[in-house]
């Protein structure tokens, strides 16, 4: 099989890249080792920056998002038992975020790809990338016991942290930076109305908590827990009881509980790969970087990676220029490190770190107090949360 771009991975970054290339008339095949059902079962973040909303609109998949998504102009910081609102819209000149689950984004992209009759290979085994340091890269895989080969101009590695693309990069040409956090997030999804119409980020002596949502009838809550905790250690009742103890009285009063429809414990890490280009293979999304979810940057960084990469491919085929391809890694990494810094800082500000004692809590509370009472401090957190412009700092 011959195509222009072989995309490895059918998560949101791979599907979004495929859709943007399709809109530009560039042929691409998407190869995924899991089933469509498995891909859709992965529960992830649901806060979209305006840049991401714009890219989804450009790809022609934003209609349902605008109908069903929730526009948020602020969020609450809860510490020392009191809530304080960060008015993102006012502080950033009218910018907002969209609350719309990653599962829904993936569903919309899958539907668009199927409607256009584009090729997506699911449940592909033994996926491997070859010759990406030449002008004739290849991707091989097996499907239903039959071996296949895709010859292409470029390979887009959108196959996540554990994918084959980054693992295939030459070890002497790659550098990886990583920080593992000493706690995880226990998350629960429930068909209950959200406790508040906007998100609540909680810094408490019992640990971090987050009150989030997917719709007006579906809620997503998180608790900071030790890395040793397992899902089976936590009954629904125990989760709700612990969440109540980390909330303020008004939130406790409005909290509606119910049976979980999904429950999981996720570790937190900061991770960046440099560079993101290896000959004619490019990494995008979780294949190249991971952020702790505190700043809601994972899907948004993936979307901007894909925006830069689609632009580079479009320029290559339309204008016969390699400028976008040559600058892809540098442009992405500049944005990635800014988002990594914000996510690390926000995580450090809101969580209890083992062994740091009560003085660390006092430092956090003092900084939070400064942030909410300083216009400059509030604007800094609002500006980073809504997302920096694509051309910021160029």
Strand partners, 139: 129, 150
pLDDT greater than 90 at residue 35: yes
As a CATH number, domain 5-178+268-379 is 3.50.50.60
The mean per-residue pLDDT over the stretch 8-12 comes to 96
pLDDT score of 390: 80
Q: Where residue 389 falls among pLDDT bands split at 50, 70, 90?
A: confident
Q: Which residues are catalytic?
A: 72, 201, 293, 297, 385
- What is the pLDDT, as a whole number, of residue 393? 54
Q: Tell me: the pLDDT tens digits for 165-193?
A: 999 999 999 999 999 999 999 999 999 99
E-assigned strand segments in 275-387: 277-278, 281-283, 289-290
- The rounded distance, in Å, linking the Cα atoms of 377 and 91 is 10
Under the banding of pLDDT at 50, 70 and 90, the label for residue 219 is very high
Delimit the domains of the chain by residue range.
5-178+268-379
Q: How far, in Å, CA of 287 to CA of 169, rounded?
A: 11
* Contact status, residue 73 vs residue 88, Cβ threshold 8 Å: yes
**Mean pLDDT throughout 358-376?**
96
Task: Indicate if the pLDDT at residue 267 is higher than 80.
Answer: yes
Q: Where are the extended beta strands (E) located within the chain?
A: 5-8, 28-31, 47-48, 70-72, 75-79, 82-86, 97-99, 120-121, 125-130, 138-143, 146-151, 154-157, 175-190, 200-203, 209-213, 219-225, 260-274, 277-278, 281-283, 289-290
Residue 242, token pair as written in the block: 């612990």
- Model pLDDT, residue 329: 97
Q: Which residues, in sequence order, are CB contacts of 335 under 8 Å at separation 6+?
A: 301, 304, 388, 390, 392
**Listed residue (86, 109, 92) closest to 18, CA to CA:** 109
Contact of 340 with 291, CB cutoff 8 Å: yes
394 pLDDT higher than 90: no
**Average pLDDT of 137-158?**
97
In three-state secondary structure terms, 136 is coil
Cβ-in-10-Å burial (0-12, 13-18, 19+) of 377 comes to middle
pLDDT score, position 58: 97
DSSP assignment of 294-363:
GG--HHHHHHHHHHHHHHHHHHHHHH---HHHHHHHHHHHHHHHHHHHHHHHHHHHHSPPTT-HHHHHHH
User: Element (H or E) spanning 35, and its range?
Assistant: none
Q: Is the pLDDT of residue 43 over 70?
A: no
Q: What predicted TM-score, i.e. pTM, was given to this entire model?
A: 0.94
| Per-residue confidence band for 111, with pLDDT thresholds at 50, 70 and 90 | very high
Q: pLDDT category, 42, cuts 50, 70, 90?
A: confident
């Amino acid at each position: 099989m011959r195509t222009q771009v072989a995309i490895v991975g059918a998560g949101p970054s791979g599907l979004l890249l495929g859709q943007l290339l399709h809109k530009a008339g560039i042929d691409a095949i998407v190869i995924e080792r899991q089933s469509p059902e498995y891909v859709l079962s992965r529960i992830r973040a649901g806060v979209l920056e305006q840049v991401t909303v714009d890219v989804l609109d450009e790809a022609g998949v934003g209609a349902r998002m605008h109908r069903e998504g929730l526009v948020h102009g602020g969020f609450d910081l809860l510490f020392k038992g009191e809530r304080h609102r960060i008015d993102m819209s006012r502080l950033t000149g009218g910018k907002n975020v969209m609350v719309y689950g990653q599962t829904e984004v993936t569903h919309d992209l899958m539907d668009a790809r199927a409607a256009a009759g584009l090729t997506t290979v699911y449940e592909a085994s033994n996926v491997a990338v070859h010759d990406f340091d030449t002008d004739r890269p290849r991707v091989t895989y097996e499907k239903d016991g039959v071996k296949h080969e895709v010859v292409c101009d470029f390979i887009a590695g959108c196959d996540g942290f554990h994918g084959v693309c980054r693992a295939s990069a030459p070890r002497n040409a790659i550098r990886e930076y990583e920080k593992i956090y000493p706690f995880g997030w226990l998350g629960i999804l429930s068909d209950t109305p959200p406790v508040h119409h906007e998100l609540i980020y909680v810094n408490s002596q019992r640990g971090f908590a987050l009150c989030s949502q997917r719709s007006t009838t579906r809620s997503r809550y998180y608790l900071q827990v030790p890395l040793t905790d397992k899902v089976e250690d936590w009954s629904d009742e125990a989760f709700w009881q612990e969440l109540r103890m980390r909330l303020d009285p008004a939130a406790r009063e409005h909290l509606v509980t119910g049976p979980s429809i999904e429950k999981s414990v996720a570790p937190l890490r900061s991770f960046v790969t440099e560079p993101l280009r290896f000959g004619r293979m490019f990494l995008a999304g979780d294949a190249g970087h991971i952020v702790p979810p505190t700043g809601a940057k994972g899907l948004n960084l993936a979307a901007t990676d894909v925006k830069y990469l689609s632009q580079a491919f479009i320029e290559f085929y339309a204008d016969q220029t390699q400028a976008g391809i040559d600058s892809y890694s540098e442009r992405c990494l500049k944005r990635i490190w800014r988002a990594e810094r914000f996510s690390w800082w926000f995580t450090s500000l809101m969580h209890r770190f083992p062994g740091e004692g009560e003085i660390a809590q006092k430092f956090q509370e003092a900084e939070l107090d400064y942030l909410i009472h300083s216009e400059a401090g509030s604007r800094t957190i609002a500006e980073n949360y809504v997302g920096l412009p694509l051309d910021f700092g160029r």
